[in-house]
Structure 1
Amino acid sequence: MVLVYSDYSRARIGHFFGLSGWQLAVVALSLMPVFVSVNAAAWVPAAGFALAWAVVVVVTVTPVRGRSATNWAATSVSFAVGALAGWTRFRSRAAVGAAAELHMPDLPGVLAGVEIHDGPPQGPAGTRVAVVQNHTTRTWAVTASVVHPGIGMSEADERARFGTGLSELLDLASRTELVDEILLLVRTVPEDGAERDQWLTRHRSPVGPTVARVVNDELQAALTGGSVRTEAFLTLVVPESRLGKAAKEAGGGVEGRARVLYSLMGECDAQLRGAVGMTGVEWLTSPQLAAACRTGFAPGDRAGIIDALTAHTTDPAVNADVPWAMAGPSGADPAARHYSHDAWNSISATIKLPVKGAAMGALAPILTPTEPGERRSVLVAFPIISASAADRQSASSEWAADMGEGLRTKAKVKPRTRAVDEAAKVRGLDRKLARGSSLTRPYAVATVTVPKTVRAAEFGRRLDASVRRAGFAPLRLDLSQDVAFAASTIPLGVSLTRTGDA
């Protein structure tokens, strides 16, 4: 049995025939010159004003690839100015021999404002979890590497239990009144065979049969090229506006904020291992997070990192850590339709939820590469709306639905089925909020990363095809490819939710 989730509605419903307040104001004000000209019997100016009004209506109301025409114009101008001025081009300090402090992150674009702190020791091993501070968006974050057995072989009851566990996790985060967003990032990485190479080095007998050795080597070469690994990360994001007061009670400063984040980690850890069904939850330290960041920008570097970690177990003098000054790319150049970083190109697209609902596990085709060397990654973000804001939004949406229904009745316009369904979902939302459920506005971003030796545009089309095959609609994030890549690939708490991230 397939579980289909369709209990979601638009974030905003237009008050007047689907138009928002500012759209209605623009349309009404631009129509005033037409009425003035008609009242004065100036028919030629009235015709000109009417034509101008039609253009204003098209520009204001009609969306083009998810954005208004005015938004496209402003974004295109800012992108062109940044490219011509060289503001968007990134070259790392290490690439030009100017990396003086190796512990300072040197990351491009929206990640430039990130600073990494080591939290206080915790647990028997004295582990110091990495605390991510984003000066641009004024947020703090911690990231965990998680392992889930998947739902491919799960029955309907077990899938429903996992879905309920996720909703309970969001409710738990909402009740803390601290967590602002939960980010779940999954990367499907081409298998590099590094672990198997290390295992063969330790266990292969030098006197073994030659034929068996050849067969095993050929099998490894064939299977490694067609295999993938899955990496999953979960990030808790807390804004400074909420964390500051609680941090003062815990001692203040970075350490006080880290202690508050540790308490949130403990609450979420229990829920993740319990109802959500995670079999492994490991909160990343600074070296582990740096390695995850580096392999996000350069998937091919993982084999060298694994070799260094293996050598470090036998020779402590081997430095297996990735310094933060080298965790980013040596160079990055955003283009209009893709993002170029080191020897790789990436294309990102957001995923639009279908009206008929989404089946649990439907994102699997999006994470399936089509060729060896191709990496797919998906970010599913759950921005958690505060209880007061959720109540106001629910009341406003319900009022807008009632207003729209009343206007259609007065104008004797037959309501469309979509409008009726949206109004019913909005009215049902208030009942759920009254019963203690939290309100979230989830979205997803998918990214494909390929070497520069192949055509990125072709793999972008394959990503779009995978999204459609999964039952969703893709929307390419043109002119924002660098932000989308950072959000969907690098587990540092960056998302598309905040204005500072876009």
Structure 2
Amino acid sequence: MATTRSEYELTPVKFSRLTTRGLILGLSLSQVIVLAVAAVVFVASLYAGGSTALFTAPAWASAVGLAVVGIGGRKLVEWVPITGHWLWRKAARQTAYRRRIAKPRPAGTLALPGDAAALRQYEDPETGAVMVHDPHQQTLTAILEVNHPAFVLMDPGEQERRVHAWGRVLSTVCRSGRVARLQVLERTLPDSGSGLTQWWAEHGRDDGSWVANTYRELIERAGPTGERHITTISIQLDMRAAARQIRAAGGSLRGAAAVLGQEMHTLTTALRAADLKPSDWYTPGQLAVMLRTAYDPQVASSLDRAGDLGRDLATAGPVAVEETWSRLRSDSAHHAVLWISQWPRAMVYPGFLAPILLSSGIRRSVTMLCDPVRSDQAARDIRKKKTEYISDATQRQRIGQIEDASQSAEYQDVLQQEADLTAGHGVLRFTGLIAVSADTVDELDAAVAAIEQAAIQASCETRLLVAQQAQAFVAAALPLGRGI
């Protein structure tokens, strides 16, 4: 039987570049404002005559330096609001959190620090699933766990088929128009060894032989030192976009839960069609365990054997959180969050993230935030980008500036997005975050260095987020669909 090679070969893919185009000639709005102020001061000093230009030199020279000099991938003028906000939070004592044990919390809250303290829980009476309500962003989020076989162990033909199936899942989310965000979270936790013990009890043959005794001793020793991987998918309903359907379903959170239930059913159907095995939607107890183990990883193995203990959302949050410029400390662990600032610029195969996802001995959470864009809005954004790129190219040609290859590559990315949208594909904005946890600061630094090296092997560029570690940790390590 004759077969073509395309049936068994993986198709490489290419990611769009992070746009660097600014307001004009690659300059951002803040740079343009600072340079305009410097120009006004300099010209005014020339008209004043005399040595005025020398006296005003510190002012306009500092403004030019703020707009031109860069540190850590940002211009100095872009660091001003970040540093100012951090200093304000530091002065207002918003970088430290201590739970008030004697003071009861409002009913229905999640006992989380920072801006996540506003989140509320709602238990759907129809499905028993817990839904997280954000009253400020007007969103409602539900979570489920997904079981899947090891992707890297499949043959190329099966990998290709599953990649296309996952693309259909994302396309389903895009066509809804009511989904604000889809979050895919893959994290590692210390294993108590209960999984291996349960497998041996169900499938093993303990006949007292030397082989059986050796295998049982190996499980007893290696089980508690292992780790387990958990993958969750969170779907978030945009209550503003679904306002009409919510009113038709009865209004309030009950109506929103009914509308979200429709999206949940559509998502589970799409996941099963993609040969993924979704679990039941998370209950309050399951979400409580996940929140607790994110802030306190060392308690994970104990909660596995504790039955119903630790499954109360009212007490699932951290006891103490201390945020620094580039680190976060909570309960029993230190954390650091990395942002995947650049995806592979060359053609890569779907398993390119394997060095990060399969890194052993490191407690980490990898999050993909997928924000679907309506087709009409995506078309408008693409037209706007095309117009701006053509205008910038014309302006650069007029002043004699040489065209940069990276700018041409970004324009080609816009054209490719337009072609994909015309072909019927959905448009999503992806944000990748990696939260790394360790018991000590030294272990955390070593783990961050290992993850950065793994990202290089995956052809990705990562940057350590600063002045926003608490907010970034909630987005990267918790399945609540939070952005940053």
TM superposition score category, shorter chain reference: 0.7 to 0.9
CA distance in 1, matches of 2:212, 2:407: 66
Tell me the TM-score normalized by structure 1: 0.85
Q: Which residue number corresponds to residue 365 of structure 1? A: 355
CA distance in 1, matches of 2:136, 2:96: 19
> In the TM superposition, what whole-angstrom CA distance separates every residue of 1:243-284 from its partner, at most 9, and x where no partner exists?
333210111121111010010111121212213x31334321
The answer to whether the 8 Å contact 1:59/1:70 transfers is yes
> In the TM superposition, what whole-angstrom CA distance separates every residue of 1:365-399 from its partner, at most 9, and x where no partner exists?
2234453xx31110011112233432232122101
Aligned-partner SS, 2:175: helix
Aligned-partner SS, 2:306: helix
Structure 1: runs of 5 or more not aligned? 122-126, 310-318, 497-502
Q: Percent identity?
A: 22
Q: Which residue number corresponds to residue 399 of structure 1? A: 387
Q: Which residue number corresponds to residue 4 of structure 2? A: none
Residues 173, 220 of structure 1: alpha-carbon distance in 2 compared, 3 angstrom cutoff: same
Counterpart residue identity of residue 24, structure 2? F
The answer to whether the 8 Å contact 1:351/1:473 transfers is yes
Tell me the matched-pair count: 475
> In the TM superposition, what whole-angstrom CA distance separates every residue of 1:57-101 from its partner, at most 9, and x where no partner exists?
3323555334443443333343334334433322224xx244477
The answer to whether the 8 Å contact 2:83/2:467 transfers is yes
Q: 2:24 aligns with which of 8, 16, 19?
A: 16
Aligned-partner SS, 1:79: helix
Residues 368, 448 of structure 1: alpha-carbon distance in 2 compared, 3 angstrom cutoff: farther
The answer to whether the 8 Å contact 1:15/1:404 transfers is no
The answer to whether the 8 Å contact 2:19/2:410 transfers is no
Q: Which residue number corresponds to residue 110 of structure 1? A: 115
Aligned-partner SS, 1:167: helix
The answer to whether the 8 Å contact 1:3/1:156 transfers is no
> Which segment is superposed worse, 47-56 or 229-238?
47-56
Residue 133 of structure 1: how far off its partner (Å): 0.2
Q: 2:87 aligns with which of 80, 85, 93?
A: 80
Matched, 1:238 2:243: no
Q: Which residue number corresponds to residue 314 of structure 1? A: none
Residues 445, 457 of structure 1: alpha-carbon distance in 2 compared, 3 angstrom cutoff: same
Residues 368, 338 of structure 1: alpha-carbon distance in 2 compared, 3 angstrom cutoff: farther
Residues 394, 141 of structure 1: alpha-carbon distance in 2 compared, 3 angstrom cutoff: same
Aligned-partner SS, 1:4: coil
**Alignment RMSD:** 3.0
> Which segment is superposed worse, 172-181 or 68-77?
68-77
Structure 2: runs of 5 or more not aligned? 1-8
CA distance in 2, matches of 1:424, 1:103: 49
CA distance in 1, matches of 2:367, 2:132: 18
Aligned-partner SS, 2:35: helix
CA distance in 2, matches of 1:399, 1:60: 25
Alignment of 1:330-341 (within 5 A): 330-341=319-330
Counterpart residue identity of residue 35, structure 1? V
Q: Which residue number corresponds to residue 377 of structure 1? A: 365
Q: Which residue number corresponds to residue 278 of structure 1? A: 276
CA distance in 1, matches of 2:30, 2:278: 48
CA distance in 2, matches of 1:164, 1:15: 37
Residue 227 of structure 1: how far off its partner (Å): 3.0
Counterpart residue identity of residue 243, structure 1? A
CA distance in 2, matches of 1:474, 1:100: 38
Residue 321 of structure 1: how far off its partner (Å): 6.0
Tell me the TM-score normalized by structure 2: 0.88
CA distance in 2, matches of 1:378, 1:73: 29
The answer to whether the 8 Å contact 1:188/1:368 transfers is no
Residue 336 of structure 1: how far off its partner (Å): 1.6
Q: Which residue number corresponds to residue 6 of structure 2? A: none
Residues 195, 57 of structure 1: alpha-carbon distance in 2 compared, 3 angstrom cutoff: same
Q: Which residue number corresponds to residue 151 of structure 2? A: 151
Alignment of 1:278-427 (within 5 A): 278-309=276-307, 319-320=308-309, 322-352=311-341, 353-371=343-361, 374-427=362-415
> Which segment is superposed worse, 32-41 or 355-364?
32-41
CA distance in 2, matches of 1:112, 1:64: 33
Residue 177 of structure 1: how far off its partner (Å): 1.3
Q: Which residue number corresponds to residue 315 of structure 1? A: none
Q: Which residue number corresponds to residue 65 of structure 2? A: 58
The answer to whether the 8 Å contact 1:369/1:376 transfers is no
Residue 358 of structure 1: how far off its partner (Å): 4.6
